[in-house]
Amino acid sequence: MTLYGGYRPSQLITLVLTFAAVPGALEPAPAEQAASLRIVDVGESDGQILSYRHLAGSAEVHMRGTRLAPDARIALKIGSRPGFVELDINRGGIKGLRAAQSLGKDFLTYVLWAVSVDGKASNLGEITFKDDRPVPVNVTTPYQTFWLMVTAEPHYAVVAPSTQVVLYSVRQAVSGEQMPLPIKGDLFFFTYYPAYNAAPGGIVDGIPNPLLQARKAVELASKSGVLAGGAKGEKNTRLKEEEYSRVALAQAIAFLERAEVTYKKNPADQTVVQFSRTAAQIAENARALAMGAVGGLLVRQLENELTAVRTELLKLKTLPPAAIESPAAATTVTPPEPLLPLPVVTSAPPLAKQPALWFAVAGWAVAVVMLFRRRSI
């Protein structure tokens, strides 16, 4: 399978392009802060997309295992009904499928998906196990044209598939007016979630699988998007989607605690399963909101950041050029110490203003006169 990066919503692309036009507006965000939309190419040449819009009766469709589950096979009947398509996997229709925990620590169950021609996957339901044997399922989908796949997942309520595809619908001979119509196209799908932990060690014995799923769902939600690292920012400045995600996570934790308490009291109590599945569902809602997979949280965040950038640009335009300094000009420079003033040279005062000089001259004159008088005697 091949992964490609990208964004599907057109308004998200517009916002990103607008940010790119503003220097420094787009800075790398932490990986957990935004959903990264990826395209996953299944890469199976014998896969097939079928249209059931003209199907009068029911047709048998087969699914084959990938390299992750080479021995897995599924045979199911698909029938067209007014407004929906019904899929029925009879008892014994699932073969060679091992427990999902064997694929890694984060995988606890399997989910059946109907994937539209444009790559959107719809969660049809969980494939559960009883005594190491898969349980048959009967589900419906509003899609009329799609292909099928089964992926390993951390819990049953995921809104986007993982990249661990274990089964896919294969090409088969179809003909006649009452058979589904084959549609040309490659098998690919979109996912919002990053890679899960596929390291060995996911098998846990003795604890009900729904309770394990609930624990994993709460753990993933707590580490996702705006929920990672606890509450950040003032409550009154958060987006509604962010606030809803925090409330949902708190509710999921509350239901998980009720499941844990009930399990400790009576492991066979059926309410353990009920509380656990409710916790997993609510935790997934919180996770999807936090990651921007639903609710438009990522788009709203970009819109708010774009508004802030535009406001700053407007402020800069209104300032005079002299007030806008470059980072180099804004560096503080210590001024040199002031030089001491040089002594001022003035002209000598006139003799009339110097009495001491007159006394000195008179003294020398008296001395000369006395000397000459002495020599004359």
Most confident of 191-200, 282-291, 302-311: 282-291
132 and 97 housed in the same domain: yes
For residues 358 and 356, what is the distance between their CA atoms, to the nearest angstrom? 5
- pLDDT at position 198 over 70: yes
Place of tokens 């007016």: 177
pLDDT at 108 (0 to 100):
95
State the Cα–Cα distance between residues 179 and 172, nearest whole angstrom: 11
- Bridge partners for 76 per DSSP: 61
Same domain for 215 and 153: no
CA gap 192, 40 in Å, rounded: 11
Q: Report the range out of 20-34, 118-132, 136-150, 248-262 with the highest average pLDDT.
A: 248-262
Q: What is the pLDDT of residue 369?
A: 57
Q: Domain range spanning residue 216?
A: 1-34+204-228+238-312
Q: 124 and 214 share a domain?
A: no
Which is more confident, 373 or 362? 362
> Is 156 inside a domain boundary?
yes
Angle between helices 271-291 and 209-222 (to 10 degrees): 20
Report the greatest alpha carbon distance in the chain.
170
The dihedrals phi and psi of 245, each to the nearest 5 degrees, come to -65, -35
294 and 151 assigned to the same domain: no
Instruction: Check residue 17 and give its pLDDT.
Output: 36
Q: pLDDT tens across 59-117, in order?
A: 889 999 999 999 999 999 998 888 899 999 986 689 999 989 989 999 999 999 999 99
More confident residue, 9 or 42: 42
Do 17 and 64 belong together in one domain? Answer: no
Closest Cα partner for 148 from 176, 127, 175? Answer: 127
Most confident of 108-112, 239-243, 297-301: 108-112
Which residue has better confidence, 94 or 226? 94
Distance of alpha carbon 13 from the chain centroid: 16
pLDDT reported for residue 372? 55
Is the residue at 325 inside a domain?
no
Residue 342 lies in a domain: no
Q: What is residue 176's predicted lDDT score, i.e. its pLDDT?
A: 54
29 pLDDT band, cuts 50/70/90, is very low
Residues 120 and 147 occupy one common structural domain = yes
Phi and psi angles of residue 105, each rounded to the nearest 5 degrees, phi first:
-65, -35
Partners of 127 in the beta sheet? 110
| pLDDT number for residue 194 | 81
Judge whether residue 294 has pLDDT over 70.
no
Domain edge (last residue) among 263, 294, 312? 312
Q: How far apart are CA 213 and CA 150, in angstroms?
A: 17
Interacting residues of 60 by C-beta distance below 8 A, sequence separation 6+: 75, 76, 77, 78
The answer on 276 and 145 residing in a single domain is no
Position 10 in a domain: yes
Q: Is residue 340 part of a domain?
A: no
Question: Can you say whether residue 145 is alpha, beta or left, with left for phi > 0 and alpha for psi between -120 and 50 degrees?
Answer: beta
- Please tell me the total number of residues recorded for the chain in this structure: 377
Structural domain contains residue 279: yes
Among candidate residues 265, 281, 312, the one where a domain is terminated: 312
What is the percent of the chain where pLDDT is above 70? 62
Q: Among residues of the chain, what percentage have pLDDT more than 90?
A: 41
Tell me whether residue 353 is in a domain: no
The tokens 């999807």 sit on which residue? 288
Chain segment 174-186, per-residue pLDDT in tens: 655 667 888 988 9
Instruction: Report phi then psi at 86, rounded to 5.
Output: -105, 135
Q: Do 12 and 52 reside in the same domain of the chain?
A: no
Claim to verify: residue 16 and residue 40 sit in the same structural domain: no
- What is the rounded CA–CA span in Å between residue 3 and residue 190? 10
More confident residue, 274 or 58: 274
Examine the domain organization and report whether 50 and 125 are in the same domain.
yes
pLDDT of 329-352, one tens digit each?
Answer: 444 545 555 544 544 444 445 544
Geometric angle at alpha carbon 16, from 15 and 19, rounded to 5°: 85
Q: What is the CA radius of gyration of the chain?
A: 41
Distance CA 348, CA 246 (A): 91
Q: Could you give the number of structural domains in the chain?
A: 2
Asked if residue 249 and residue 181 are part of one domain, the reply reads: no
68 lies in the same domain as 6: no
Residue where one domain finishes, among candidates 256, 285, 312: 312
Residue 264 has pLDDT above 80, yes or no: yes
* Distance in angstroms (rounded) separating the CA atoms of residues 146 and 118: 9
- Assign 3-class secondary structure to 186-202: CCEEEECCCCCCCCCCC
pLDDT in tens, 276-286: 999 999 999 99
Q: What is the overall mean pLDDT for the chain? A: 76
- Read off the pLDDT band of 27 (50, 70, 90): very low
Please tell me whether residue 68 adopts helix, strand or coil conformation. coil
**Residue 123 forms beta bridges with which residues?**
113
**What stretch of H or E contains 130?**
strand 129-130
Of 287 and 37, more confident: 287
Judge whether residue 243 has pLDDT over 50: yes
Whether 112 is in a domain gets the answer yes
DSSP one-letter code for 321: G
Q: Report whether pLDDT(223) > 70.
A: yes
